Structure 1
Amino acid sequence: MTADARPELEVVEYTDPLCPWAWGSEPAFRQLRAVLAGRARWRRAYAILFDADDDPAPDPAVEAAWYGRYLAEVAGHTGAPRAAALDRVARSSWPASLAARAAEAQGPAVAERVLRRLRESVFVLGRPADTGARVRDCVRDVPGLDPERLRADAASAAVLASVRADRAEARAPLPEVLDLVGPPPHPGRAKELDDGFRYALPTLLLRTPTAYRLVPGWRPPAAYAEALRQLGVPVQAGPERLSPAAALALHRSLTAAESALLTTGGPVAADAVRVDTAGAALWFHPDEAAGHPALRGQP
């Protein structure tokens, strides 16, 4: 492939910053992105799990308690961290989705860190980044981020149009997932809405100029490797595993599941900052921990 050639493989990740199954899929997705580094265009489409016109709960406290139990059930399957308590069910996915898209203008490293913080707002802090103020508080100390530029870009017409297009795309699922019967606990059948369907979150669409494969729901890494094989995309046995310290330097935060899948094993790093949750633990790079909302005010 020449320096100017674009990879023929595209991966579309239908997701939402506040989705628990997407959070639990991050270890497999991080591995897949490493496998496909330089060989695929990876695009996230923000599907808007919590929409602006959703009816408010008659009793927000009861709803939060119920949803907290649901998050515990999901985390039991995925092994992901989860907050001990949830202050409320997210009111809207729009602020976080707009911020995640806006962060892409500041480069892939910053965009990854912003999206990760937005996910952690729910599953580490228990305080979803579901308003502009909460988003700004959540991401304001992300290393390398220009927060004022993020705020301006997130409020722009271009970013709004982009996320609106994502939402519409996610609500036009391919027919394979409409009546899907797949393996539990989250087979990925399209979600039926009042006005149609939406891809289950997360769903990956992998496509070349001549073919495509869908991998919906929560799946093991082998499912993504099989989809690539069916598309004729060469797949190595797996990306080279990094030392725990190198993986933490790259990703800035690691869950226990990510450490097990992506690293050579052993202690994460001598200077890593560990945070225990009601589910699994996770570790932060010292630079990330310095301003992380889960650690603010701690010595």
Structure 2
Amino acid sequence: MTSAPRHAPVLEVVEYTDPLCPWSWGAEPVLRLLRTTLDGRVRWRRVFCVLFDEDDDPVPDPAAETAWYARYVEDVSAHTRAPRAPRLSRVAASSWPSSLVAAAAGLQGGTVADRVLRRLRETMFVRGEPADTTELALAAARGVPGLDEERLAADAASEAVRERVRADRAEARRPVSEVRSVEGGSPHPGAAKETPDGAYRYALPTLLLRTPGGAYRVVPGWRPYEAYAKAVRLLCPELTADPVTLPGDRALELHRSLTGPERELLTHGPWPPAGAVRVDTGNGPLWLHPEEAGTGPGDPRAAPTSL
């Protein structure tokens, strides 16, 4: 959930991410909880880092590269418990198409933006077919409630949105000094990554929280909820970050799909909701809202759960 603050925000949350990043996918439960908890009280802004760039050199052996990357995603999912596709068809050729579509979706409001970004993530980590072309990225968004699909396609192709993503990419490559060296204690502590030109970029995901007065805290890598709540308290003691969970049916209505870790972290009460569609992946189940089955990247052959 990402919505405009009801009053002037006391805090901006900047999320450095990429639609096709496995650690960002694994962080979805905690970041969804933080967005739900702070909804309407902060300005939440996503910055698309472009993990797979257009000018990356082609790999000499795509099959070997895909096998290596599939093992890497499997290792990440072992830590995060996030679903992974039983089979990855290829390494994404580029993050630009999915980043452009995600940025364009943001022009249609926070809820639509959240749902489109989630669909794009699921192409990679549920279906195993990354949305690395414009056609695939637009297809992934098809059927999202409230989405104007013609506008999405036009905006994604516009120079204004491409310039926005260019600016995002550049911003992600100007990390604050604190992330050049970070404490361990996490399988992905989030130290800044060196780029081929000798510069640095934020590891993904990284959250930068800052006040209008310029004070900030940075939370890099894969972290527990308390790390984000602590940063909120340090910057804005008056801004409570006690986790807000929802009944299972309301959570599924809002988010449209929930992983096992998300069900545990974001919901309370009976589970699964009536009509929820279970999709089995290579690392645990995913539950879809019944209207998502057959439209989103989840397996359209999945059957309703037994209640």
Normalising to structure 2: TM-score of the pair? 0.93
The alpha carbon displacement at 1:141 in A equals: 2.3
Aligned counterpart in structure 2 of residue 16 of structure 1, from 11, 15, 18 = 18
Matched with 1:231 is 235
CA–CA distance in 1 between the matches of 2:7 and 2:240?
22
Matched with 2:275 is 271
Matched with 1:199 is 202
The alpha carbon displacement at 1:39 in A equals: 1.3
Amino acid at match of 2:226: A
Aligned counterpart in structure 2 of residue 78 of structure 1, from 71, 77, 80 = 80
Matched with 2:223 is 219
CA–CA distance in 2 between the matches of 1:109 and 1:150?
14
Matching of residue 249 in structure 1 with residue 246 in structure 2: no
Secondary structure of the structure 1 residue equivalent to 2:13: strand
The alpha carbon displacement at 1:61 in A equals: 0.8
Matched with 2:37 is 35
CA RMSD of aligned residues (A): 1.6
Does the Cα contact within 8 Å between 1:248 and 1:268 map onto a contact in 2? no
Does the Cα contact within 8 Å between 2:7 and 2:41 map onto a contact in 1? no
CA–CA distance in 2 between the matches of 1:136 and 1:98?
10
Matched with 2:176 is 174
Matched with 1:112 is 114
Does the Cα contact within 8 Å between 1:64 and 1:88 map onto a contact in 2? yes
Q: Deviations over 1:95-122 (max 9, x none)?
A: 0000000011222221111100000000
Superposed, 1:108-187 pairs within 5 Å as 108-187=110-189
The alpha carbon displacement at 1:26 in A equals: 0.7
Aligned counterpart in structure 2 of residue 291 of structure 1, from 291, 295, 299 = 295
CA–CA distance in 2 between the matches of 1:298 and 1:230?
45
User: Aligned pair in 2 of structure 1 residues 38, 29: CA closer, same or farther (>3 Å)?
Assistant: same
User: Aligned pair in 2 of structure 1 residues 265, 298: CA closer, same or farther (>3 Å)?
Assistant: closer
Q: Deviations over 1:194-241 (max 9, x none)?
A: 221000000000001231000000000010011112113335462332
The alpha carbon displacement at 1:265 in A equals: 4.3
Question: Quick one: percent identity of the two aligned structures?
Answer: 60
CA–CA distance in 2 between the matches of 1:10 and 1:133?
33
Amino acid at match of 1:117: R
User: Aligned pair in 2 of structure 1 residues 192, 34: CA closer, same or farther (>3 Å)?
Assistant: same
Amino acid at match of 1:44: R
Secondary structure of the structure 1 residue equivalent to 2:36: helix
The alpha carbon displacement at 1:79 in A equals: 0.8
Normalising to structure 1: TM-score of the pair? 0.95
